[in-house]
Structure 1
Amino acid sequence: MELSVINIILVMVTCAMTAFISHMGMAVFHDGIRPVIPEYIEGRMHRTEMATIAFGLSVGFIASVGIGNALATNLLNPWLLFLATDIIGIASPKKWLAPILGAAYGVLCITAIGGVNTVLTGMPVDLIGALGNVGTYVVTGFAIFPIITIIMQFGMRTGIISAVVVVVFRFGGPKFSTISADAWTMMVGVVLLVALCIYRDAKDKQDNKEGETLNVFSERTARIKKNLPFLMIAGALIAVICNIHVFAGSDVSMFDLSKAYVMTDAAEADALIKTVATNEFMRGLSFIPLIATTAVTTGVYGVAGFTFIYVAGYLSPNPIIAAVSGAVIIFVEVMLLGLIGKFLGRFPSMRDASDNIRSAMNTCVEFALLIGSISACGAMGAGTSAGAEGGFLIGGVIYLINEATGRKIMRMAIGPIAAIATGLLLNLTYLIGLTPLV
């Protein structure tokens, strides 16, 4: 992550804007906070009470997923930035104070993460290099989510048949096309999932009729449209910070983007970024039902919309096009909110699938991050007398302690955090002479 004046300013302005729209109740990043904001706007809750709820919902994510992944990838992420600006904006007593505090927080994040990484890079046991292993299997693991979703929604038998079809295409597809194996895995899986949902709804016409009665809450949709200029500015800024290689939108993209941004082969880096963008796009599709439904029922939008602005940021050739694309995408999303709500009402299986998709995505990415993180632990240990087994032991103990004590740190974050902790412990044992370098 390049620490230039323009990059610092862009992150500062982005955090200022997201804190402002949070304070005004226009948009927040945390889905759980969105339904609370109308309670304040309509006079049923005090701002201090709302701020307490926002802090309680977000602080764990900031401390684990946000900080842990930022250190592992040297890229900012939405859990680190936007969950915090949710809290800052909501807690600020004055609307002019929210952007000032948000801007200060943005500067702190972009300057501190780089400094911490510089310190880690200078350690005798290679911590930063080994952390590159953390994201090794994320793309492949993420591509499995349609199969897991099918099993969750349609049962084991249908899931196993779907898995066999997907595996055939995964190994056979690349032989007669330029599409990667991971892309074939996800593409075929998603097609099967959508086909199964449509087939189920076509058979069950009663559910479809009931779905058509879904209330879209046009009054609150109109409130989002009224705030559109501010939402478009936020969307433009987020797309820009994605484009300048300082920000990644999700755990699906951050580890591979971290690799792509340091590659010396431009063609290879470009191919990896396109793969990341495809995965991010598929992830965004799964969040449409959740964000659209909560938006039309609360009148509060998502800071990053349906998250397609991340894709625009990754793929745009320069920051200006990224800004325009981000603003246009948010405009189109908001204009289509009512139609999206009605569409989801007609296909209840698609709505049900969205919950299963998010759960399956989390499971697959958690698994991939755990495997990659343990691999990183082994790589760190291999450079010392502790050996790869010693690194595995430390990382494994950290993970299992977390499981045994009620999962104090969420599974999405414990892998990278265990890898970072393993590197720090191995450096400590090196300094006291227990694990000399080999």
Structure 2
Amino acid sequence: MGAQLAAAAGGLDFAPAQRLTVIGLCALTAFVSHRALAVFNDGVRPFLLDFVQGRTRRGATGAVSFGLSAGFVFGLGAPMALSSGVLNPWLVFLPTDVLGILAPRKWLAPVLGGAWGAVVVFGLKGANDAAHRLPVDFLTAMQQMSTPILFLFTLFPVLAVCKQFGRARGAVAGAVELVLVVLTMKLWPKVFAGSLAMAAGVLMLIGFAVARDLRERRDGATTDQDAGNETGVDDPMASLFSASAARLRQHLPLFMALGAGVCLLSQTHIFGGGEATSFLIAQGQYAEAAQVDFYRAFGFLPLIATTALASGAYGIAGFTVVYPLGYLLPNPWLAVVCGALVFTVEVLALSGIGRVLGRLPSVRDSSERLRSAIGDTLQLAVLFGSLLAAQTMGGGLGLLIVGGLYLLNEAMGRVVVRMAAGPAAVLAGGVLLNVLYWLDLFTPLTS
């Protein structure tokens, strides 16, 4: 795995077509963000309703976007790209959210977005080469993050089952996943060991949720609630949802272009939609990467749908189904067509999806549990991987510096968001260890 990741990290020298794809897509996403039609950051989307309705100014909305995005860009997006050699949405899309919202003119937004795309495709290679020439190569050390991220991420369905359906079913799901991981490692060593385990865990979670919803419907527990939803024609939230869905449908051609661009970027295999996915793409395991991002899509679908209907702003990657689709498609032209069709279906079906989610409370809750479990597992995995990287590059001193920076960030009220604090601490610790080396106060563990 280490050799594969090392080769991938050297793959930041993108081909001309790949560079044009990134630059063009960054220009488009900045333009869409400027129009308040879509943003990548789920936390920013609810604030766009006030902006669209004129209750807040562009500068204030841009400040919110920057505050919610900066830590992920520099603490997670950049380190993950440099260590894996694969781009990610935090590095590509979060900055274009900010630049698009802040741009005072419509024509300036795509210019700024394209400029950021150029920085990404041309600047990462130089930063990567410079870092690898340092006495303490902290980027190579950061590749230690791959194993804990990939294997601990496998457990997120178990956590979701335990939180929603209790410890007994959670223990059963955990046992099933453990058996499948061991069997996969033994029988199919070239396949990502967590593939079958995650599939089984997610299917168990969905099965439990559907069974609960059907049982409650049969017992009449939700009859009154459903009747109220169907007869509430004067419900102000229903009116707002309808207006938001109509606003998005009016700009369907723009969303078709957006879906085509995101799917095309995924098809180039220089982009991964998540932490685990980035390392799987780097290893050439595209089917496994598609599987992982498909499960993530299920976890985030209700959040994206409800915030889109409430704010009138969609997600830059939609329901993120275009990620796994792009990984698996054989050529870029097919990716463009399929991406446009997927976004067409998503935007047109948005109102219907919202109504269905309203009638399946347990399934909706399962998605929320999955999203929470993904965050919990990745927080632990990223922290553990960061400490492994710290030990690799600096032994006990590396652990002291990186662990100390992480704890200091916690004590200061999380200046850097917890998910990004570990990788950011590794970068800062790597720079500090190089300074100590130049001062003749530290000797690298490996020459």
What TM-score do you get using the length of structure 1 for normalisation? 0.88
Q: 1:296 aligns with which of 309, 317, 340?
A: 309
CA 1:148–1:426 in structure 2 vs 1: closer, same or farther (change >3 Å)? same
What is the RMSD computed on CA atoms of the aligned residues? Answer: 2.4
Which residue is 1:115 aligned to? 126
Residue 304 of structure 1, CA deviation: 0.6
Deviates more, 1:284-293 or 1:76-85: 76-85
Show CA shifts across 1:163-212 (max 9, x none): 22333343346667797541222112112211221222223232365257
Matched, 1:434 2:441: yes
Which residue is 1:196 aligned to? 208
Residue 394 of structure 1, CA deviation: 2.7
Counterpart amino acid of 1:350?
A: V
CA 1:45–1:407 in structure 2 vs 1: closer, same or farther (change >3 Å)? closer
Q: What are structure 1's unaligned runs of at least 5 residues?
A: 261-268, 382-387
Matched, 1:306 2:324: no
Which residue is 2:103 aligned to? 92
CA 1:170–1:91 in structure 2 vs 1: closer, same or farther (change >3 Å)? same
Check conservation: 1:235, 1:327, Cα contact below 8 A: yes
Residue 144 of structure 1, CA deviation: 0.4
Counterpart amino acid of 1:431?
A: W
Q: What are structure 2's unaligned runs of at least 5 residues?
A: 1-11, 231-237
Which residue is 1:234 aligned to? 258
Equivalenced residue count is 421
CA 1:44–1:324 in structure 2 vs 1: closer, same or farther (change >3 Å)? same
Deviates more, 1:155-164 or 1:117-126: 155-164
What secondary structure is seen at the aligned counterpart in 2 of 1:204? helix
CA 1:369–1:210 in structure 2 vs 1: closer, same or farther (change >3 Å)? same
Q: 1:370 aligns with which of 356, 366, 383?
A: 383
Which residue is 1:72 aligned to? 83
Matched, 1:257 2:270: no
Counterpart amino acid of 1:251?
A: E
Which residue is 2:222 aligned to? 207
Check conservation: 1:232, 1:328, Cα contact below 8 A: yes
Alignment of 1:211-360 (within 5 A): 213=229, 215=238, 217-258=241-282, 260=283, 269=284, 272-360=285-373
Residue 278 of structure 1, CA deviation: 0.8
Counterpart amino acid of 2:222?
A: D
Matched, 1:103 2:107: no
How far apart, in 1, do the equivalents of 2:122 and 2:187 lie? 47
Check conservation: 1:74, 1:114, Cα contact below 8 A: no
CA 1:208–1:297 in structure 2 vs 1: closer, same or farther (change >3 Å)? farther
Residue 380 of structure 1, CA deviation: 1.7
Which residue is 1:263 aligned to? none
How far apart, in 1, do the equivalents of 2:151 and 2:184 lie? 15
What TM-score do you get using the length of structure 2 for normalisation? 0.87
CA 1:168–1:237 in structure 2 vs 1: closer, same or farther (change >3 Å)? same
How far apart, in 2, do the equivalents of 1:296 and 1:141 lie? 33
- The alignment-based identity, stated in percent, is 38
Check conservation: 2:176, 2:197, Cα contact below 8 A: no
Which residue is 2:7 aligned to? none
Q: 2:430 aligns with which of 402, 423, 426?
A: 423
Check conservation: 2:305, 2:354, Cα contact below 8 A: yes
Matched, 1:150 2:161: yes
Counterpart amino acid of 1:20?
A: F
Which residue is 1:38 aligned to? 49
Q: 1:161 aligns with which of 161, 172, 175?
A: 172
How far apart, in 1, do the equivalents of 2:210 and 2:396 lie? 49
Which residue is 1:403 aligned to? 410
Matched, 1:51 2:62: yes
How far apart, in 1, do the equivalents of 2:267 and 2:188 lie? 29
Counterpart amino acid of 2:251?
A: N
Counterpart amino acid of 2:50?
A: E
CA 1:58–1:422 in structure 2 vs 1: closer, same or farther (change >3 Å)? closer
What secondary structure is seen at the aligned counterpart in 1 of 2:413? coil
How far apart, in 1, do the equivalents of 2:187 and 2:137 lie? 41
Show CA shifts across 1:220-269 (max 9, x none): 212212211111111211222223343322223123323x2xxxxxxxx3
CA 1:55–1:416 in structure 2 vs 1: closer, same or farther (change >3 Å)? closer
Show CA shifts across 1:31-78 (max 9, x none): 222222232323333333322332333233323223332333333322
Residue 275 of structure 1, CA deviation: 1.1
CA 1:111–1:166 in structure 2 vs 1: closer, same or farther (change >3 Å)? same
